Amino acid sequence: MLGLGRIGSVHARNAAAVADEVLVYDAAPGRAEGFVREGVYEGVREGGLRPGGRTAGRPCDSVESLLEAADALVIATPTPSHAELTLAAVRAGVPVLCEKPLTMELDRLLALIDELEPYDVPVMVGFQRRYDPAYTELRRRVAGGDTGRVHVVRSASHDRLPPDPSFVPTSGGVWRDLLIHDFDALAWIVGERVTDVYAAGSVLVDEVYAACGDADTATATLRFEGGALGVVTGTRRNGQGYDCRLEVFGADATLATGVDGRTPVVSVEPGAPGPDGTHDGFMGRFAAAYQSEMEHFAGLIRGEADNLTPPVAGLHALEIALACERSMAQGGPVSVPLRGDEHR
């Protein structure tokens, strides 16, 4: 386990369910030791197996020492480090689950896919929505024809609270960091690629986004190959609660993820019930998805599961995100160059 920040802590806990020992390293001094000491791996004798249990936690003092000892690697460090860490692990024959995105640049991703290919070592990318029970079911039903022809899709990723401002400069921005999940899930569920986008962004939450040339509030209109249209919205602050949904409006039915008693919407229709609590953030909303993702990773290493999110899986989402960035900067619709065709 490399990186024990917001998402790394989640993965490090979930890893305990599938591993005999979880080796942890974080570049921040003392963080790995503190994480193990916190009791995450309750009852663990350092370096040994938990008496009566499966898992132990062990802090490591460098990436190199961790890689030497590990059978599999989970990377949850900031995005700019993902590509090199993934390559280092694969060269050492160690399977990788790397947080999304693998890299923020399209040229680098295309080159990386080629560099990784000859090693034949599994690399899974953390698009956790593909492991979420509701998103998986929505894809199955749309593919099975339950909605009829898809006319419109809507996808929202609205964080309740913004991340720490220090996260913003290296995050990749609202399109490549936040809404890349929506682009991946939409194309995966609709089963078509996006050909054109028209994107807009505003800074309404924190000036740090303006200083980074980023937006904290964003919308995009998408056109799919078959003519279906999509609307994507993202915000870094949504006071009512964490709102993450994907809605498919088809000729015969409308199906959605994220619409239940916890959807953070207050209806003003007479007598309509309000939400029964809401999710605080992605960790709670996608808890089952992260667990399933980790179980899937273990299955993949054992040769018992298919890779639902290989490096190429992030390619189209990145193409859409980059097109949205251009559209926002230029102020008009742009086409999505499908440069990675030979890799799909």
Ligand X SMILES: NC(=O)c1ccc[n+]([C@@H]2O[C@H](COP(=O)([O-])OP(=O)(O)OC[C@H]3O[C@@H](n4cnc5c(N)ncnc54)[C@H](O)[C@@H]3O)[C@@H](O)[C@H]2O)c1
Binding site for ligand X (CB under 6 A): 2-8, 25-28, 31, 63, 76-79, 81, 99-100, 126, 128, 167, 177, 282
What's the closest the beta carbon of residue 173 comes to ligand X, in angstroms? Answer: 11
Cα dihedral value 82, 156, 248, 226, nearest 10:
-60
Q: Pick the closer one to ligand X by CB: 30 or 261.
A: 30
Cα dihedral value 187, 188, 191, 192, nearest 10:
20
| Phi and psi angles of residue 151, each rounded to the nearest 5 degrees, phi first | -100, -50
Q: How many beta carbons lie within 10 A of that of residue 341, not counting itself?
A: 9
Tokens representing 89?
């692990």
What's the closest the beta carbon of residue 64 comes to ligand X, in angstroms? Answer: 11
Q: How many beta carbons lie within 10 A of that of residue 192, not counting itself?
A: 15
What's the closest the beta carbon of residue 205 comes to ligand X, in angstroms? Answer: 17
Q: Pick the closer one to ligand X by CB: 167 or 198.
A: 167
In the numeric block, the tokens 């809605």 are attached to 247
In angstroms, rounded to a whole number, what is the distance separating the alpha carbons of residues 280 and 243? 9
What's the closest the beta carbon of residue 207 comes to ligand X, in angstroms? Answer: 20
Question: Using alpha carbons only, how large is the chain's radius of gyration in Å?
Answer: 20
Residue nearest to ligand X (CB): 5
The residue among 187, 163, 319 whose CA lies nearest residue 248 is 187
Amino acid type, 91: R
What's the closest the beta carbon of residue 282 comes to ligand X, in angstroms? Answer: 5
Q: Pick the closer one to ligand X by CB: 100 or 139.
A: 100
Q: Pick the closer one to ligand X by CB: 128 or 257.
A: 128
What's the closest the beta carbon of residue 151 comes to ligand X, in angstroms? Answer: 29
Give the burial class of 186: count Cβ atoms within 10 A of its Cβ; 0-12 exposed, 13-18 middle, 19 or more buried: buried
Q: Pick the closer one to ligand X by CB: 97 or 336.
A: 97
Q: How far is CA 78 from CA 3, 67, 156, in A?
A: 8, 18, 23
In angstroms, rounded to a whole number, what is the distance separating the alpha carbons of residues 266 and 256? 18
Q: Pick the closer one to ligand X by CB: 228 or 298.
A: 298
What's the closest the beta carbon of residue 110 comes to ligand X, in angstroms? Answer: 19
Q: Pick the closer one to ligand X by CB: 72 or 334.
A: 72
